[in-house]
A and B are shown apart, each in its own frame.
Chain A
């Protein structure tokens, strides 16, 4: 992870060894945050596996915060999906 930007509000994170799998999902979670003015990601070159993930916040919030919150939210969603899926599997196996 590398970050550079003009001030604390707009930061471009360079995530190594990542592609659309995490990029799109994370972008979706960060966009849900009302403090975020701009959020996007791009793959610099298809031969290199790294993405540029840019967050711009409105107001004085440092851009690292929505990034952290997005990651935590994504983990929360995954955990919820995993729990629901496993409960379903258990229900199905006890029914048989």
Chain B
């Protein structure tokens, strides 16, 4: 039963953000996609941190918390979930990273300088200092893979001479429902397309005032036969501030509504997976859920 009149339009695609329209779908399903994008598309993130030496100011648990939130560039579809109660971690479900850094004083620094960049080596710990340590046969499984954090310039901690951090991290696959660090999107949202109707023709000064009431580009004032007439040019740009209802003269001339089945989705990825892959994965996950219950229905005898 294919829904009629359904279409998808890609409006804008950037490296990490995607804006697309879905027309002809219902709120329940659009919301289901949004919820799945936020909470149920799996990713890899640091889960266990084995601290061998941490003499920095940052406490162990704070450091572990910060490391967990760093997005890791690793395709989660290549990995399995870790079994419950499995402490060690095998090569099919775990990625191992090491962060080993020590801060020392720079002997060549000028006597009176107070700039830490000059005085010390390695005093800022960035995410680029995390190195991948292959487990087992991961070098054979992923010969040209380069597992590292998505961004190299995330500041993890600050050190001073004599302080050192030596930790080993295990990354596992998880979903956002479990912990927000596993969420693959910076955010995923949708809004409905605005529908602005002018109930009567609006002219001259009222037209100018109307144009100021809406976001720029929404209302266009055209010069028809010497008179200025207002026209709705691009309702999509409007942010629905309802400024027009504050003016007595214009209040009754405009009707603000939303087109009920036109959803403008905006998905921003953290960089782990490109946003179009995320949307496809989310749709597949919804299908997987239905399939799971269909299988249970068939296997479990009723009553």
Contacts and interface: CB of A to CB of B under 8 A. Distances in A.
B300 A1 contact: yes
Interface in B1-40: 1-3, 6-10, 13, 20, 22, 25-26, 28-29, 31-32, 35-36, 39-40
A75 B293 contact: no
B47 interface: no
Most chain A CB within a 10 A radius of its CB, from B31, B40, B283: B283
A20 B279 CA distance: 19
B164 interface: no
A68 interface: yes
B287 interface: yes
Nearest to B283: A82
- How many of chain B's residues touch chain A, expressed as a range? 35 or more
A84 B8 contact: yes
A28 B7 CA distance: 20
A22 B289 contact: yes
A3 B296 CA distance: 12
Nearest to A20: B35
B195 to A, nearest CB: 22
A81 B297 CA distance: 25
Contacts of A75: 287, 290-291, 294
Contacts of B3: 77, 80
- How many of chain A's residues touch chain B, expressed as a range? 35 or more
A89 B296 contact: no
Contact of B289 (A18, A20, A64, A72): A18
Closest CB pairs A-B (n = 6): A28-B28, A25-B32, A21-B35, A24-B28, A82-B283, A78-B287
27 contacts: A15-B293, A19-B35, A21-B35, A21-B36, A21-B289, A22-B286, A24-B28, A25-B28, A25-B29, A25-B31, A25-B286, A28-B28, A64-B302, A71-B293, A71-B294, A74-B286, A75-B287, A75-B290, A78-B283, A78-B286, A80-B3, A81-B22, A84-B8, A85-B276, A88-B8, A89-B10, A92-B13
